[in-house]
Copies of this chain bind each other. A is one copy, B any other.
Amino acid sequence: MIIRPPRHWFLRLFAWHGSVLPSIMFRLSLNLLMSLAAILSLPWYETLGVKLTLAPFSLLGVSIAIFLGFRNSVAYSRYTEARQLWGGLLIACRTLQSQVMAVCPGEAQRVTTLLLAFCYSLKHQLRHSDPRPDIERLLGDDAEDILSRRAPTNMVQLRMSQWLAERRRSGELSDIVYTHMDTTLLQLSQVVGGCERIVSMPIPFAYGLLLHRTVYLFCSLLPFALVVDLHYMTLLVSGFISYSFLSLDTLAEELEMPFGYANNHLPMDAMCTNIEINLREMNNQTHLPDTPVPDRHYRLS
């Protein structure tokens, strides 16, 4: 489940990992048109009274870079937290599985099924996709009741909690082991709560808008400030600066909501499969799903 992009510096220069370039291509072309317009209209500058010098753009550019840096670190920390939550999900699943195998081995299979239903349901909830096929595959007849609820993932969690309570009521588990395993269930609860929080709380919308507009306006005006000094070179320099600023703006937007299908989003399909392999292997099952492999663009879905 490991992504290994080319490590040689030269190959990396031309690596194609289509996430950002395609989505800014159109804006970049517009920018080049602006540069052309600036170059062509240069002779009439005096007459038009256009007097844009680089100095105020330098001040503005550095400020935007600072704010972009802030926004990227904020978006990245959301992405990281999402990844950590899913990492914690894997850990909690393995832990509960091995606890069940230790104290009531006969139930291991049942718990594996519930845990997998939990993971797949969470994935579909976060991606707003249809959980039916996965839930029916795993839970069979029981699926219908889960699927009819508003919060299916939470319902699967409740099933696990009830399964645990039955073990306690039947005397199979002492209160101590019961509370110990309930603490592991709490970790699952924290994962789903954390993911819901990330999904339902975007970065304050005004930040995104502010930077999006500022970056765009900055890149559009820049050629007119550069053209007096650089003339034809405006195309190169303005394109270069626009490329970095627009890319970072777009990348931050993408990382802000890490649960989608974009290139830099979390590979939740692969993660679910990975959890399935782990849990089934712990049960000594032999028909395991294939280990997910990135495609030739270094992508996992």
Interface flag for A37 (CB, 8 Å): no
Q: Are B60's CB and A240's CB within 8 A?
A: yes
Q: Are A277's CB and B150's CB within 8 A?
A: yes
Sort A-B residue pairs by CB-CB distance and give the 6 closest, nearest first: A102-B165, A87-B197, A91-B193, A63-B65, A179-B180, A204-B264
The count of residues in chain A whose C-beta lies closer than 8 Å to any C-beta of chain B is 129
Closest residue on chain B to residue A160 by CB atoms = B98
Residues of A participating in the B interface, judged by any CB pair closer than 8 Å: 1-3, 5, 7, 9, 12-13, 15, 17, 19-20, 23, 27, 49-70, 72-74, 76, 79, 83-84, 87-88, 90-91, 94-95, 98-99, 101-103, 149-151, 154-155, 157-158, 161-162, 164-165, 168, 174-180, 182-183, 186, 189-190, 193-194, 196-197, 199-202, 204-210, 212-214, 216-218, 221, 226, 229-233, 236-237, 240-241, 243-245, 247-248, 250-251, 253-255, 263-264, 277-278, 281-282, 288, 291, 298
Q: Are B5's CB and A202's CB within 8 A?
A: yes
Which residues of B have CB within 8 Å of A20?
Answer: 206, 210
